[in-house]
Amino acid sequence: MKMLKINDHLPQVSAIGLGCMRLTGLQDEKEAGALIDVCTEAGINFFDHADIYAKGEAEAVFGRLMAGREREKMVIQTKCAIRPGCFDFSKDYILSSVDASLRRLQTEYIDILLLHRPDALMEPEEVAEAFRMLKKEGKVRSFGVSNHNPMQIELLNSCLDEPVCVNQIQFSIAHCPSIDAGFNVNIHNDAGCVREGSVIEYCRLKKIRLQAWSPFQYGMFEGVFIGNAKFPELNRVMERLAGKYGVSTNAIATAWILRHPAGIQTIVGSVNAGRVRDICKAGDMTLTREEWYELYLAAGKQLP
């Protein structure tokens, strides 16, 4: 498994992490525990949560599974700020959310706390004070964001004691507007519209680790492209490459993300232990340049 560095405050993390949103969908906690064991055996040490996943129950299940496991060998990330009808970066809400996550996760500290989606009413000074308190009290080691553009990060960083270290964005072969815009510079077409502020290039320049959520989805929760009749050419190419490398098409889709030189950590949300085990094979393979471009074009994209 490839390992990545986020910052000097954290151990290296696996290039593939487990997204824990669906833990509560398993039949029982014994099955969930077996999934965590498979992840550990495959080299995954990174587990991604959010306070809203199953209304907190996903964190609670994971917390109960922590018994008897070595906490220091796990890197646990969670998110906060999504409330019914609004996003909330207020100091009080951040602090209370972290305390609740710590109780559910049954841990003394969170390795990384992400602000889940941008809050238009953000006061960066207030966020900075919340982060300062959490760091001083040993409740959170490092901080990041999710679904933020470069200027939103710049505004936040202007008040923080240390810059955010992670930005988690939706990213896959079939959903990569930042890649599309990069190819279509100075061209008057839809693909050339920069909707996210060149976030990949920005994060590379600022040493912010990008994380990809929904690596097998297209559109905004429109569905999975693997095995989907809407993507016949993409699936044909993935199947051929899967045969070449002796892996699944899910692993090929993951390897496409990992091939990018930004070192994009891939957050996989599957709770199928066998599927996760096979996806992890992507952490030990590297697609060629030609294969990466072939997959991009097979997804229906065009090069100028």
* Rg over CA atoms, the chain: 19
Distance CA 29, CA 31 (A): 5
CB-CB contact of 277 with 42 (8 Å)? yes
Sequential DSSP letters for 39-69: HHHHT--EEE--TTGGGGHHHHHHHHHTTTS
Please give the positions annotated as active site.
53
Neighbours of 225 (CB within 10 A): 23
Sequential DSSP letters for 212-260: EE-TTEETTTTEE-TT-TT-HHHHHHHHHHHHHHTS-HHHHHHHHHHTS
Element (H, E) at 186: none
Q: Rounded to 5 degrees, what angle do the CA atoms 193, 253, 115 make?
A: 60
CB-CB contact of 14 with 1 (8 Å)? yes
